[in-house]
Amino acid sequence: MKEAKVRLYVEHSLGEGQTIPLARDQAHYLFGVMRMGVGDVVELFNGQDGAWRCNVVQAGKRAGILTCDAQTKPLRMPPDLWLLFAPIKKARTDFIVEKAAEMGAARIVPVQTDFTNSERIRQDRLQAHAVEAAEQCGGTYVPEVAAMQRLDRVLADWPEGRQLMFCDEAEVGQPSVFDTVEAVGRCPTYQPGKGAQDGAWAILIGPEGGFSPEERARLKALPYAHVVSLGPRILRADTAAVAAMTIWQQVLGDWV
């Protein structure tokens, strides 16, 4: 049996015997770039039905058709974790979205803070980066990249029950208070090996210029916010996002 060497995200239902028409760019990638043809195998996923082994039955420069053979992986949902971050330079913003998708964020929310340098994003381009990251890392779920929102509006509409891990660069050099985050996450329903998947969380990473005094004061006053230091050194925003997600996943997520 041939092994699939290429993975693609599609927006079609997947199931045994299901026929999948390819979009023009997908057909070009498979048959023009990867030089695949009829009889070759591709792994498809759609964020709902797991991953499926599919066979190429029609191959053209602008179109193609695949048929589903067998499920290779069940759907694996990430923990209920949002990543909120202030967009920075283009390549580094792309990096944050890619790593968040790889590391198990369920939703990615760009926010505009008082010191955010970028006033706009290309939501469709960032969503495409999340898709590519899931394709490359073997994931079966693609996190939503939300439209950019002002931080104050996000906080005003904050969903009840969701905890916030506030990564404050002003706390550098101070003892971490992540033990309080762990205590909140390990609620009475916590079960070893299952992490805090029944608990809703978010991580907030600031911009290159940090948070304003007004933002910091408001965040610290929120009953659901937990201030966290990420160590003795100030980290770049993209590094901080990876570090924060690593810590959360290791203690409360599906890495335990």
In the numeric block, which tokens belong to residue 22? 């390819």
> Are 142 and 130 contacting, i.e. CB atoms less than 8 angstroms apart?
yes
The CATH number of 7-73 is 2.40.240.20
In CATH terms, is domain 81-251 a member of 3.40.1280.10?
A: yes
Determine the 3-state secondary structure of 22 from DSSP: coil
Q: How far apart are the C-alpha atoms of 104 and 80, rounded to whole Å?
A: 9
> Are 125 and 163 contacting, i.e. CB atoms less than 8 angstroms apart?
no
In the numeric block, which tokens belong to residue 54? 């599919």
- Across 53-83, b (16+ Cβ under 10 Å) vs e yields bbbbebbeeeebbbebbebbeeeeebbbbbb
**pLDDT value for 197:** 41
Residues of the chain with CATH 2.40.240.20: 7-73
Alpha-carbon Rg for the chain, nearest whole angstrom, is 20
Q: How far apart are the C-alpha atoms of 72 and 50, rounded to whole Å?
A: 8
In the numeric block, which tokens belong to residue 144? 């939503």
In the numeric block, which tokens belong to residue 199? 């608990």
**pLDDT value for 1:** 60
Residues lower than pLDDT 50 in the chain: 187-197
Residues of the chain with CATH 3.40.1280.10: 81-251
**pLDDT value for 176:** 63
**pLDDT value for 137:** 93
**pLDDT value for 181:** 64
**pLDDT value for 208:** 86
Note the pTM of the prediction, 2 decimals.
Answer: 0.88
Q: Which residues pair with 85 in a beta bridge?
A: 110, 205
Specify whether the backbone of 95 is left (phi greater than 0), alpha (psi in -120 to 50) or beta.
alpha
**pLDDT value for 189:** 39
Nearest CA to 185 out of 202, 169, 206, 208 is that of 202
In the numeric block, which tokens belong to residue 170? 């002003």
